[in-house]
Structure 1
Amino acid sequence: MFKVITFITVLTLISGCGTSINADKYQTITPTFDPYIFFNGKVKAWGIVQNRSGDLVQRFTVDIDGSIDSSNVLTLDETFHYEVGEGVAHRVWKISSEGNNKLQGSAGDILGLAEGNLYGNAMRWQYTMDLPVDDTSYKVEFDDWIWSFNDSTIVNRSYIKKFGLTMAEVTIFMQQIPLESVTVK
C-alpha cells in the first residue's frame, strides 16, 4: 500500500511540472496572428532543439513554401537543413480552418490530426508524432505555441512531451521573405 501511495504522490508532483500557458491573455494583444496570411508565400525559419537538461541537440533552418488552394486548404511545404543533429528532411502540412478560431492539419509523419486554436496574437498547435531518435522512434506529444512578433515575424515554442513530461523544447523564429527577394526562374 505504501508503494501505491508513493507512486501516486510522485505522479501528482510530476504532472505539476508541465507547461501551462494561459491563452486568454493573448486575445487582445496585437498584431493578430493569422496563419493563412503569414504562411501564404515563402517563409524562412531558424531553430534549435534542447533536451531536458538544456543541452543543444539540433540546430536547423527551414525553407517553407506556403500556398492556399481553392478549397481554402493551407499547404506548408517544409524543407529542413541541419547544422547540428539530424531530423526529418521534408514535411508537407495540409491545414484547414474549422471555424471558431479552430484549425486542423495533417502531415505524413504526424499521427492522426493536429489541432489548433487561435488566440489573438497567439496560436496553440497540438499533435502526436513518432519521433525518430537514433535507431528507434518514440510516440510523443507536441504542444506548440506560436506568437506574432510583428507582421512578418513569429516565434514558435514547442514542448515535446512523453507521459506528460517535457522531454525537449524547440525554439523557432520564422520570417516572411518579401516577394521582391524571391528570384523567379
Structure 2
Amino acid sequence: MSKLAILMAGFVGLGGCASVDVSDYAAEKPELDLTRYFNGTLDADGIFQDRSGKVVKRFHVLIDARWQGNTGTLDERFTYSDGSTQRRVWTLTRLDAHRYTGKADDVVGEASGEARGNALRWKYVMALPVDGKVYNVDFDDWMFLMDDRVMLNRSVMSKFGFHLGEVTLSFRKRE
C-alpha cells in the first residue's frame, strides 16, 4: 500500500472520530430561541429504545412552559404506555444569546446547553431509578427546531462511555 493511501485511510479514520458541534448548525433556520419556543403549552410524544434498538417504553408529555426574564420553568407531566406517570420540573437559565443551564430534581448537578441556528445541545447527568436502584446516566441531548410548532429531540444515554439506549421525542407547540 502506498504512503498516500495509508495517509488517506488515517484521515478518513480520524474523521469518523470527530464529534458534531452545535456550531455546525449556526446557519440553519428557523432559529431556535428557547424563551420563545418553550413558552406556553406543548405536547410531546416519545419512545425509549434500549441498546439493541428495541422500543421498551412509549410516552406522552404535557409541558407547561413559562419564562420570567432569563429564567424559565418547564413543568413536564409524563404518561407512559403502561399507565404510570411522572413529573419533572426544569428550571432553565439563559446565560447569554446561546448558552443555557438547567436544573431538575432528578438531574445530578446542572445541565448545560448551547443553541445555534435551529439546534440545541444539552448535556447532563440524570439519576434514573431501575429495579429499586438509582443509576447516574449521562445524556447527550440534541433538539432541532423544524418550524414554529414542531421540534425533534434525540437523546443518547450512556454510562462510563457505554451506550445504554436512546430517547426520541417530537414536540408540538399548541396554538
TM-score of the aligned structures, taking structure 1 as reference length: 0.81
CA distance in 2 between counterparts of 1:45 and 1:121 reads 18
Q: Counterparts of 2:99 and 2:168 in 1: how far apart (Å)?
A: 23
**Percent identical residues:** 40
Provide the C-alpha distance between the structure 1 equivalents of 2:141 and 2:17, rounded to a whole number of angstroms: 13
Structure 2 residue aligned with 1:55: 54
In the TM superposition, residue 85 of structure 1 has moved relative to its aligned partner by 8.2
Gaps of 5+ in 1: 1-16, 179-185
Structure 1 residues 61-111: Cα deviation after superposition (integer angstroms, max 9, x where no partner): 000000112x4211000000000486x600000001111511001011111
RMSD of equivalent CA atoms: 1.9
Q: Which of 148, 167, 172 is equivalent to 2:169?
A: 172
Letter in 2 for 1:56: V
Say which SS state the counterpart of residue 150 (structure 1) adopts.
coil
Q: Which moved more, 1:76-85 or 1:109-118?
A: 76-85
Aligned 8 A contact 2:48 2:58 in 1: yes
Show the counterpart of 1:79. 77
User: Are 2:123 and 1:118 aligned?
Assistant: no
Distance 1:101 1:22 in 2: 13
- The within-5 A match list for 1:87-166 is 89-166=86-163
Q: Structure 1 residue 35: deviation in Å? A: 1.1
Partner of 1:41: 40
Give the C-alpha shift of residue 134 in structure 1. 1.8
User: Are the counterparts in 2 of residues 57 and 85 from structure 1 also a CA contact under 8 Å?
Assistant: no
Tell me if structure 2 keeps the 8 A contact 1:61–1:82.
yes
- Aligned equivalents of 1:123, 1:74: Cα separation in 2: 16
Equivalent residues of 1:47, 1:59 under 8 A apart: yes
Runs of 4 or more consecutive aligned structure 1 residues displaced over 3 Å after TM superposition: 17-20
Number of residue pairs the alignment of both structures matches = 160
Using structure 2 for the length normalisation, give the TM-score.
Answer: 0.86
Task: Give, in angstroms, the shift of residue 129 of structure 1.
Answer: 1.2
For the residue of structure 2 that corresponds to 1:89, the secondary structure is strand
Output the amino acid matched with 1:140.
V
| Structure 2 unaligned regions, length at least 5 | 1-15
Aligned to 2:8: none
